[in-house]
């Protein structure tokens, strides 16, 4: 095992009654990374976080932190404090008391508490604000207090479960930036839970995409967006157009695929292990398609414009093909040009993402 791996999960399963909530989770998280657990509500994110923290006992598998098996350790011996929604600050306590809270529970000596709180406050650049109350601080500062509260415990990993979900959109954005910069400044290892795709894409070093208690993909935001491993991931992150296709030829990194009722063929760039005759699914993002631009690539579909929507930086077109299948195509920077009536839409080899269907 690499020494960089801080959290190592092997075959982790958790069952509630007849509900198999976590299914054989294997996951390794490196030191100093910002990792996001992403998935819709009910897919097991909180259950895994609570299992890592020690609030739940897992039914199968191993959880190792820094090489040590922690399956049977209680939460306070694992060093993985959790921060819940709304920063979990106590409104009636001063910042100092909020930060000291975990140490007070452990009944640490007064001098040690003073020293450790001081150090944690300095790390998050809040020295001097110890006597304030949470409501006297900005959203960003409150997030720093919440982080100081975790830092004071000298924990190797900080677990954040949808900490921003109750904030309004503008504040959420401000606090996101704040949180990411504290994590980077201090080289912290953070696991962050969210169901918000944009939040995950914009903050993370890597994203773990959950699908009903299992991991569909673990990769960087760019990999998850541009090379989704499954249709579920492609659909959950952003918007895409799916196309059923059949492989006709495969030659070194390229495939010829047949698609649509009129059996057109297109060339696709891929490193998937596929064979002629195999059914595959193509995924093409709205921003990767061009309207009435044959030079844009070999993939082409004819249709007509059903409607369009002006979104400022782009115009989003809804186009129906001859089978009444709807395509979403975004046109950027086209000024006053408007596409209407019959159109063709096009995509190039490297903008078409090919996925195997049965894996």
Ligand X SMILES: Nc1ncnc2c1ncn2[C@@H]1O[C@H](COP(=O)(O)OP(=O)(O)O)[C@@H](O)[C@H]1O
Binding site for Mg ion (CB under 5 A): 46
Site string for ligand X, 198-237 (x = CB under 6 A): ----------------------------------------
Shortest CA distance to 34 belongs to which of 180, 201, 217?
180
Pick between residue 36 and residue 46 the one whose CB is nearest to Mg ion: 46
Q: Does 163 bind ligand X (CB under 6 A)?
A: no
DSSP string, 228-239: -SSHHHHHHSS-
Q: How far is the CB of 43 from ligand X (least distance, A)?
A: 4
What does the longest C-alpha to C-alpha distance in the chain come to?
79
Q: How far is the CB of 216 from ligand X (least distance, A)?
A: 13
Report the partner that residue 19 touches, choosing among Mg ion, ligand X, none (CB closer than 5 to 8 A by kind). ligand X
Pick between residue 193 and residue 345 the one whose CB is nearest to Mg ion: 193
Residues whose CB is less than 8 angstroms from the CB of residue 276 and which lie 6 or more positions away in sequence, other chains included: 247, 248, 249, 250
- β-strands 314-321, 326-332 pairing: antiparallel
Q: Does 304 bind ligand X (CB under 6 A)?
A: no
Pick between residue 46 and residue 288 the one whose CB is nearest to Mg ion: 46
Q: Does 19 bind ligand X (CB under 6 A)?
A: yes
Q: Does 16 bind ligand X (CB under 6 A)?
A: yes
**Minimal CB distance residue for Mg ion:** 46
Evaluated on CA atoms 148, 150, 152, 156, the torsion sign reads negative
Report the partner that residue 43 touches, choosing among ligand X, Mg ion, none (CB closer than 5 to 8 A by kind). ligand X
Q: How far is the CB of 16 from Mg ion (least distance, A)?
A: 14
Q: Is 142 within 8 Å of 133 (Cβ atoms)?
A: no
Q: Does 285 bind ligand X (CB under 6 A)?
A: no
Pick between residue 46 and residue 270 the one whose CB is nearest to Mg ion: 46
Q: How far is the CB of 45 from Mg ion (least distance, A)?
A: 5
Q: How far is the CB of 213 from ligand X (least distance, A)?
A: 7
Pick between residue 21 and residue 157 the one whose CB is nearest to ligand X: 21
Site string for ligand X, 30-69 (x = CB under 6 A): ---------x-xxxxxxx----------------------
Interface segment toward ligand X; rule CB under 6 A; list 13-21, 90-98, 141-149, 249-257: 13-21
Report the partner that residue 16 touches, choosing among Mg ion, ligand X, none (CB closer than 5 to 8 A by kind). ligand X
Question: What is the CA 208 to chain-centroid distance, rounded?
Answer: 6
Quote the CA–CA distance of 91 and 94 in Å, as a whole number. 8
CB atoms closer than 10 angstroms to residue 272: 17
311 to each of 202, 308, 332, how far by Cα in Å? 21, 10, 10
Report the partner that residue 238 touches, choosing among ligand X, Mg ion, none (CB closer than 5 to 8 A by kind). none
Quote the CA–CA distance of 192 and 195 in Å, as a whole number. 10
- Bridge partners of 35? 191, 206
Q: Does 21 bind ligand X (CB under 6 A)?
A: yes
Q: In what order do the strands lie in the sheet with 189-194?
A: 82-83, 157-161, 189-194, 34-38, 206-211, 214-219
Quote the CA–CA distance of 258 and 268 in Å, as a whole number. 11
Pick between residue 3 and residue 41 the one whose CB is nearest to ligand X: 41
Quote the CA–CA distance of 78 and 51 in Å, as a whole number. 11
Q: Does 194 bind ligand X (CB under 6 A)?
A: no
Query: Which residues of the shown chain bind ligand X in the complex (CB under 6 A)?
Result: 16, 19, 21, 39, 41-47
């Amino acid at each position: 095992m690499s020494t960089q791996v801080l959290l190592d999960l092997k075959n982790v399963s958790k069952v509630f009654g007849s509900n198999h909530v976590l299914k054989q989770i294997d996951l390794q998280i490196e030191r100093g990374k910002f990792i996001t657990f992403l998935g819709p509500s009910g897919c097991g994110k909180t259950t895994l976080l609570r299992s890592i923290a020690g609030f739940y006992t897992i039914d199968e598998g191993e959880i190792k932190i820094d090489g040590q098996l922690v399956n049977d350790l209680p939460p306070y011996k694992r060093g993985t404090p959790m921060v819940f929604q709304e920063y979990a600050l106590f409104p009636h306590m001063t910042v100092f008391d909020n930060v000291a809270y975990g140490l007070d529970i452990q009944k640490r000596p007064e001098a040690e508490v003073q020293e450790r709180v001081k150090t944690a406050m300095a790390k998050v650049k809040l020295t001097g604000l110890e006597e304030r109350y949470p409501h006297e601080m900005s959203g960003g500062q409150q997030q720093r207090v919440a982080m100081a509260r975790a830092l004071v415990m000298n924990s190797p990993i900080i677990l954040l479960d949808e900490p921003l979900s109750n904030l309004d959109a503008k504040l959420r954005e401000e606090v996101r930036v704040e949180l990411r910069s504290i994590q980077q400044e201090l080289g912290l290892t953070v696991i962050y839970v969210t169901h918000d795709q944009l939040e995950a894409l914009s903050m993370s070093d890597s994203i773990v995409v959950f699908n009903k208690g299992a991991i569909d993909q673990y990769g960087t935001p760019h990999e998850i967006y541009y090379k989704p491993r499954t249709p579920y991931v492609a659909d959950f992150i952003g918007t895409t157009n799916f196309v059923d296709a059949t492989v006709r030829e495969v030659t070194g990194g390229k495939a010829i695929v047949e698609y649509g009722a009129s059996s057109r063929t297109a060339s696709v760039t891929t490193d998937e292990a596929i064979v002629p005759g195999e059914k595959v699914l193509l995924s093409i993002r709205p921003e990767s398609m061009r309207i009435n631009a044959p030079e844009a690539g070999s993939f082409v579909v004819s249709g007509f414009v059903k409607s369009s929507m002006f979104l400022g930086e782009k115009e989003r077109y809804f186009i129906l093909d001859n089978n009444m299948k709807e395509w979403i195509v975004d046109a950027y920077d086209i000024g006053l040009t408007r596409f209407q009536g019959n159109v063709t839409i096009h995509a190039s080899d490297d903008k078409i993402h090919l996925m195997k269907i049965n894996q």
